[in-house]
């Protein structure tokens, strides 16, 4: 097996090897994710608005960077498209910053798509990791992620107020739990060698 070949089997084997070497970091990261998830679930609207503002800030800064790049490379010549994309990105970011509740609806739809896609990928990754200890938790995490995506999608637009905070919090908690279990399993496997 060539470790430089990025096949799913090699990626899973490399991940497991790295996890065994850093099992304690995985457990600590999992606990942090669990705590962050609990905070998001406890205050879903605040978490949703905070996420919206953060995304708006990132878009605005990224858009400004694109505009600066366009001007440095000749904005009204070959880089006109880069300038237009940069301006659109700044406008989208400023909209989210100034209208976070309305922006929360757009993020709700994006979050539904994100959960649907990551749920599928996590299911596929879990099947590749089988029979490694903890693969079942990754499978469960993928199933929960997929169901969360479907819930958001089906409840829209009502889900815009609560979905981002609660569902993102649940996703963080599931990912955290998976890391704790997998990290503890990897740590036990390392101690047994």
135-155 and 100-129 helices, crossing angle to 10°: 150
pLDDT of residue 34: 95
pLDDT at 3: 53
pLDDT at 183: 84
Backbone angles phi, psi at 118, to 5 degrees: -70, -30
Looking at residue 134, its pLDDT comes to 80
Where are the chain's structural domains?
A: 32-187
DSSP tag of 7:
-
pLDDT along the chain (193 residues), means of 10: 61 73 86 94 91 94 92 77 91 94 87 90 88 85 90 84 84 89 78 65
Tell me the torsion sign for CA atoms 156, 162, 165, 167.
negative
């Amino acid at each position: 097996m060539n470790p430089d070949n990025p096949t799913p089997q090699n990626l899973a084997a490399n991940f497991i090897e790295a996890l065994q070497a850093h099992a304690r970091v995985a457990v600590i990261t999992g606990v942090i994710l669990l705590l962050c998830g609990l905070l998001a679930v406890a205050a879903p609207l605040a978490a949703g608005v905070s996420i919206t503002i953060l995304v708006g800030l990132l878009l605005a800064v990224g858009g400004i960077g694109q505009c600066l790049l366009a001007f440095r490379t000749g904005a009204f010549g070959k880089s006109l498209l880069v300038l237009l994309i940069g301006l659109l990105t700044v406008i989208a970011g400023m909209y989210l910053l100034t209208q976070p509740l309305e922006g929360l609806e757009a993020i709700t739809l994006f979050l539904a798509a994100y959960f649907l896609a990551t749920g599928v990928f996590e299911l596929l990754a879990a099947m590749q990791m089988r029979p490694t200890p903890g693969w079942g938790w990754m499978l469960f995490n993928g199933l929960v992620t997929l169901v969360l995506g479907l819930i958001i999608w089906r409840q829209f637009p009502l889900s815009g107020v609560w979905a981002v905070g609660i569902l993102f919090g649940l996703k963080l908690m599931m990912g955290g739990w998976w890391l704790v279990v997998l990290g503890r399993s990897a740590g036990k496997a390392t101690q047994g060698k």
